[in-house]
Amino acid sequence: MALTSQEIIAQVIFRIVSVITAALILLVGIVIVTGLLIPAYAPANYRIILGVVMILYGSYRILMVWRKQRHAQRH
């Protein structure tokens, strides 16, 4: 079944929004780990754990978008 031009545009927009969102999550994770976003009175362990979780989640989302796009190109 062929996709209409509107469906293709919607998929492209969704992909762009997904990558931007994942990149922002990744960036926030990096900023948290560096200590720029969390106040100084916050425990260092909390900052590191939260930052690493954000980095891993952002990386996971980027990987999933990339894999979905690669799978769609094959079919």
Cβ 51 vs Cβ 32: under 8 Å: yes
| Amino acid (1-letter code) at residue 23 | A
Residue 58's Cβ-side half-sphere holds a number of Cα atoms within 13 Å equal to 18
User: For position 1, what pLDDT does the model report?
Assistant: 62
- Bigger pLDDT: 25 or 3? 25
For 18-67, write each residue's pLDDT tens digit: 999 999 999 999 999 998 888 888 898 999 999 999 999 999 999 999 99
Please give the C-alpha separations between residue 49 and each of 19, 35, 41, 42, in angstroms, as whole numbers.
23, 12, 15, 12
Model confidence at 2: pLDDT above 80: no
